[in-house]
Amino acid sequence: MKDFSSRRSVLLLFCVFSLSVWTPAASEFRICSYNVQNFNLDKASNYRVLHTLTRIVSRCDICLLQHVVDPDGKAIGALLAALNRYNGHRYKSVTSTSLGNSPDDMEQYVFIFRPQQVKVTGEHQYKGKLSFDRPPFVIRFQSTKTAINEFILVPLHSNPKKAVQEIDQLYNVFEEVSRKWNNSNVMFLGDFHAGCAYVTRKDRKSIRLYKNSNFSWLIGDRADTTVTDSTTCPYDRIVVHGEPFLKAIVPFSSQVFKFGEDFKLEKRKVLEVSDHYPLEVTLKSSAPLLQATPLLILLTVIVRFFMPTL
């Protein structure tokens, strides 16, 4: 009887161990957005800033950077080189032209992504310049790793004085790109200045992305996306259109990544990178746990065969 009990314990331990080793966890696919506050070659030449930014972006399969001032591409080139040395993943980028209303206020949108996880299938520069200081540079992505196969990312770094108008005009961008690519799986992300004095509760009545219930705001109004103690504002946002895209997102995965806490950095070092925190959201895997099915069947057969004799 003692020998039977030992055999049963060993079998059960084997089953638990096998499941823990062989059952694949749902792979994460993380989309990030970060206002890097005047990211230029001088900033990229600061080793400490570049290392911290590398650690942040390396968490992401796609990372949108805003407020990039890098017309010759050297700053982003330095960041890509650092990323490709960091953890074995390969990274590429796609960058807009310099956008703005004056030579002293030109910025770029930059998407950095892992080509082994996702590929770019389309680019579109929105032309409604009267509506935006920095019109969205829209990218269509395709990935076999995610529950939603193809989706569109629309960035915005708004002029704070025109935040209400620019956020509302994102609806026009949505109509244009969803019609162009016959795809309504659209995510808006960036520094919208969508809070505090720039966008009030009253202002939302004139913003179609608020009024239309098909749009879901994943970063709430109580979030604080700013680093300094003098502001507590949800300026940076992630918004998705439609139930299919919303269902493809891991519940409660959208968050403000306060990397100072994770990286054990003093606030002054966090501020060296930006006065904003990055945002992130995780998409569900395309087929979690399906590969484990044959193993589960095998273990079931083994247990049913041996248990009656133990």
Q: Residue 66: enclosing H or E segment and its boundaries?
A: strand 62-68
Token match 């990211």: residue?
39
**CA separation for the pair 115, 61 (Å, rounded):** 9
Residues 6 or more apart from 27 whose CB is under 8 A from it? 145, 285, 288
Active site includes 123? no
A 10 A CB-CB count for 300 gives 11
| Maximum CA extent, the chain | 86
Query: 257 by DSSP, 3-state: which?
Result: coil
**CA separation for the pair 108, 65 (Å, rounded):** 8
**CA separation for the pair 296, 176 (Å, rounded):** 47
Residues 6 or more apart from 66 whose CB is under 8 A from it? 33, 34, 35, 36, 107, 109, 155, 157, 190, 191
A 10 A CB-CB count for 190 gives 29
Active site includes 89? no
Residue positions counted in the chain: 310
Residues 6 or more apart from 56 whose CB is under 8 A from it? 32, 34, 63, 257, 259, 273, 278
Q: Residue 190: enclosing H or E segment and its boundaries?
A: strand 186-191
Question: Residues 28, 67, 89, 107: which is the catalytic one?
Answer: 107
Query: 133 by DSSP, 3-state: which?
Result: coil
Q: Do the Cβ atoms of 109 and 68 come closer than 8 Å? A: yes
Question: Residues 157, 193, 241, 276: which is the catalytic one?
Answer: 157
Residues annotated as part of the active site: 107, 157
